[in-house]
Amino acid sequence: GRHSMLPRHVQRLGRDWIAHWNGSQILALNSPVSNCTRWAGYYPWASFPVPVPVDFSANWRLPPFFGPWRQFQNSSWQLDTFTPSSCFHLPNPSMKSEGEEPLTKKRRLSGQHGTSTPEEETNFSNQKEALCLSIAQNEEKHSSRKGTVKRHWEYFCQHSRTMKIFENKETDQSNTESEAKFDFTVMSYNILSQNLLEDNSHLYKHCRQRLLIWTYRFPNILQEIKQLDADVLCLQEVQEDHYRTEIKSSLESLGYHCEYKMRTGRKPDGCAICFKTSKFSLISSNPVEFFRRDIPLLDRDNVGLVLLLQPKFHCKTNAAVCIANTHLLYNPRRGDIKLTQLAMLLAEIASVAPQKDGTFCPIIICGDFNSVPGSPLYRFIKEGKLNYEGLAIGKVSGQEQFPRGQRILSIPIWPKKLGISQNCVYEIKQQQKEENAGDKLEAAELNNTQEVVVASEKLSSKLQHHFKLSSVYSHYFPETGIPEVTTCHSRSAVTVDYIFYSAANDDTTAQPGAEDSFHGGLKLLGRLALLTEKDLWTVNGLPNENNSSDHLPLLAEFRLIER
């Protein structure tokens, strides 16, 4: 048979086991043994002696402390924990009873159908899901939450000391300053759409099947949001039907007001910004669609969302905060699309954030940018400029160390009819101002000069934006130089999620010059520390027992300073 290395009575036991067992019941034969086999998924726990030959044919996976095991990602055997009684984990699909095949995941838009009727598949799926949850609950009752990695809070005060916020937050807030102060927290979190999870199941081969069902994942995600208790949530990959039926209502019960923008086309997820009504009121909500039917370059369905919020505190002038959220295109070989989507988001922010005195209100930009630290796209966000002449499209995001596509970015990247200048602002407003200024005679005399200026702008390979932004995270641990990671699955572990903000004059964590063009600004008080790839593989990567997305939530605390 497929597992001929197992004794016949063991194979029969695995095939025909009835799943109505309490998670604490264990069948043990003879005396305690050093090796045991565990049936996974919706089968109960079973322990029995199994002779394990040195040269067995099945591949097996190294324990977590040996580091990543991507080279074994197609393995049929998994070693869950390395203890005196180690257990091999036999994946669910390899267990087939007579007349019963494992239910394959159906892609959302595929036309393939099995031999069973939709009603039978639905009933079987529901029974499987309920059984998974029942066993998961039993396991949780009889085990401590050992599969967790603690993330400590780092906060920045006068001397930039690092310690837990719960011990020192009150002291930091008691400082007396002349400015009006308003402290709030912001979270950015890609919660992993269930549809995308199932359409990309190859990324989650390291996960047990029961950990990937939505009815197991959502309570974990909601619990994370409750515990971190951010004042503003920027969520990506929010599936529309889940948002409508349970996410929105659950967050509203926690005191949030929710704004949502679904991806265009047939994509079932989108971005959401949720804020506590006790801290903010909504001034405006501005969705951004990156798809343009008349521009071939912009044929992708990604979106962004820009909110202008009014803090609920008393001050001399009307303060506002601009919060933006997006999820840029993933494709590592389409840096041209990524940069154009980013420019469209920045143009919308530039139209929403100006104040009466001509400066911008404080800005926070969150999201999954599908770009790594130090990449040209990342540098453009932080430095406010990018000369992309001769830059290969596949190198824009830095996702691939050796890009397959060597096509060079065109100059300009996007066509003029998009209506966005190389300064990442809407050209229509600029043109209206120019048309209203001056008279027709002066315009006629300067006509030739203007044509030259416009022509040079078309051929310019320099992008700019007017926001001086800093990153909440430094992306490397200062003591070791090891990279922080925000996502970790079977294929990669890397940083792609960010919180960028416009810094106040006295924010020592900001980059030099970050205070220009802003009225007041934001001071970074603290952040929830990220983890290394090694840290995450000690709990079997992401998603895992307690973290139900393949991304970590990012969390920062800011102080709004208005002078």
| CATH code (residue 273) | 3.60.10.10
Can you list the alpha helix ranges (DSSP code H) found in 260-419? 335-352, 376-383
331-344 mean pLDDT: 98
pLDDT of residue 505: 75
Q: Residue 322: inside a domain, yes or no?
A: yes
Ordered DSSP codes for 71-89: GGTT-S-EE---STTEEEE
* Cβ count near 205 (within 10 Å): 17
Q: What's the domain count of the chain?
A: 1
Cβ(203)–Cβ(244) under 8 Å?
no
Give the 3-state secondary structure of 127-189: HHHHHHHHHHHHHHHCCCCCCCCCCCEEECCCCCCCCCHHHHHHHHHCCCCCCEEEEEEEEEE
- The closest of 276, 274, 190 to 238, measured between CA atoms, is 190
- The closest of 107, 93, 368, 126 to 207, measured between CA atoms, is 93
pLDDT of residue 562: 73
- The closest of 61, 80, 63 to 71, measured between CA atoms, is 61
Torsion of CA 501, 502, 504, 510, to 10 degrees: 60
Q: Residue 120: inside a domain, yes or no?
A: no
Q: Residue 491: inside a domain, yes or no?
A: yes
Q: Is the pLDDT at 496 greater than 90, yes or no? A: yes
Q: Residue 158: inside a domain, yes or no?
A: no
pLDDT of residue 179: 54
Torsion of CA 444, 445, 449, 451, to 10 degrees: 20
416 vs 135, more confident: 416
Mean pLDDT over each residue of the chain, to the nearest integer:
76
269-281 mean pLDDT: 98
Residue 103: pLDDT band (50, 70, 90) is very low
Cβ(311)–Cβ(269) under 8 Å?
no
- The closest of 293, 320, 312, 306 to 418, measured between CA atoms, is 293
DSSP 222: H
CA pair distance 31, 124, nearest whole angstrom = 37
Residue 262: pLDDT band (50, 70, 90) is very high
Domain range for residue 414? 179-425+460-562
213 vs 118, more confident: 213
Instruction: Give the pLDDT confidence of 347-404 residue by residue, as tens digits.
Output: 999 999 999 888 999 999 999 999 999 999 999 999 999 999 999 999 999 999 888 7
Q: Is the pLDDT at 123 greater than 60, yes or no? A: no
546 vs 163, more confident: 546
pLDDT of residue 506: 67
Q: Residue 165: inside a domain, yes or no?
A: no
Instruction: Give the pLDDT confidence of 169-202 residue by residue, as tens digits.
Output: 443 444 444 456 899 999 999 999 999 999 999 9
H or E element, residue 124: helix 118-141
For 85-89, 273-277, 308-312, 520-524, which range has the lowest pLDDT when averaged over its residues? 85-89
* Angle at the Cα of 206 from the Cα atoms of 200 and 208, rounded to 5 degrees: 95
Determine the residue type at 445: E
* Cβ count near 237 (within 10 Å): 24
Q: Is the pLDDT at 46 greater than 50, yes or no? A: no
H or E element, residue 283: strand 280-289
pLDDT of residue 13: 47
pTM of the complete model:
0.71
Tokens of 281: 């009121």
Torsion of CA 14, 17, 20, 24, to 10 degrees: -50
* Cβ count near 418 (within 10 Å): 20
Q: Residue 86: inside a domain, yes or no?
A: no
Query: Could you give phi then psi for residue 401, rounded to 5 degrees?
Result: -65, -35
Q: Residue 348: inside a domain, yes or no?
A: yes
Residue 434: pLDDT band (50, 70, 90) is low
Ordered DSSP codes for 493-537: EE--EEEEEEBPTT-TTSPTTTTTTBSSEEEEEEEE--B-HHHHH
- The closest of 142, 141, 127, 148 to 41, measured between CA atoms, is 127
Q: Residue 73: inside a domain, yes or no?
A: no
Residue 97: pLDDT band (50, 70, 90) is very low
563 vs 456, more confident: 563
